[in-house]
Amino acid sequence: MFKYLADIMLSVLQFLYSLSGNYGLAIILLTVLVKFALYPLTLQSTRQMEAMQKIQPKMQELQKKFKDKPDQLQKETVELYKREGVNPLGGCLPMLLQIPFFIALFVALTSKEFTVLMGAAGSKAAFLWITSLAKPDPYYIFVTLIGLSTYWSQVTMPGAGMQQQKSMLYFMPAFIAIISIKFPAGVQLYWVISNLLTVVQQMYITGMRKKA
């Protein structure tokens, strides 16, 4: 499945390269297209996470009230979800459906086919300070941007201020930045742009909710 999607991603990437004349720009355009196509899932996921955050005080009250009655707590929790129209899996499921597309894009940008394309592109495989998008960023600039943009994208997510998530706000950006060090610059560029687009989407969705 991932190989099939990755081949599609590579074909689209080559098409975008034919339009832009640079693989760096083509990767940015491809990331934008994927994000745009998956926006409905992102919207649904964000709305459900906001709904879960909204009922947290009521959840805490139930947990205190029925802390010694797990069966009653489970029943009351289900009733609370029904009253508030909240699906506890609603925030996770749309995100899980996006994973195959992101993995496919990752596979495409780390494949031998992509390396061959970069070799054939010559100077057009370069982008900004990167001489070849098939090789890691030697100056770790993209790695730093990955860490910062991951943190920013987490901060804009609903529920970022919840106690159980605060520790992840610092751990995940550092972890992701470290594991991305040896990735090709094409993957690093995709990751940075994807994170920035996530921030834009979250700010847009939050703005819509405030106006509603």
**DSSP string computed for 186-206:** HHHHHHHHHHHHHHHHHHHHH
pLDDT for residue 67 is more than 70:
yes
Q: In this model, does residue 209 exceed pLDDT 70?
A: no
In this prediction, residue 163 has a pLDDT band, given cuts at 50, 70 and 90, of very low
Give the mean pLDDT of 54-79: 79
The whole model's pTM is what? 0.78
Count CA within 13 A, CB hemisphere, residue 9: 28
Task: Check residue 188 and give its pLDDT.
Answer: 93
The span from the CA of 110 to the CA of 113, in Å, is 8
Residue among 160, 113, 108, 124 at smallest CA distance from 24: 124
Query: Considering its fold, how many domains does the chain have in total?
Result: 1
Cα(130)–Cα(83) distance, integer angstroms? 54
**Spatial contact of 147 and 161, defined as CB atoms under 8 Å apart:** no
CB 35 within 8 A of CB 201: yes
Give the domain range for residue 10.
2-211
Give whichever of 67-71, 80-84, 145-149 has the largest mean pLDDT.
145-149
More confident residue, 145 or 62: 145
Phi, psi values for residue 48, rounded to 5°: -70, -35
Our measurement of the distance from residue 12's CA atom to the centroid of its chain's CA atoms, rounded to an integer in Å, reads 20
Average pLDDT over residues 139-166: 78
In the prediction, which pLDDT does 143 show? 94
CA distances from 147 to 27, 134, 156, 197 (A): 19, 20, 15, 15
Mean pLDDT, all residues of the chain: 81
Report the pLDDT averaged over residues 22-37: 90
State the pLDDT confidence band at 142, using cuts at 50, 70 and 90.
very high
CA 113 vs CA 14, 108, 124: distances in Å:
11, 8, 16
pLDDT confidence of residue 129: 92
DSSP state of 86: -
Q: Are residues 133 and 125 in contact, defined by beta-carbon separation less than 8 angstroms?
A: yes
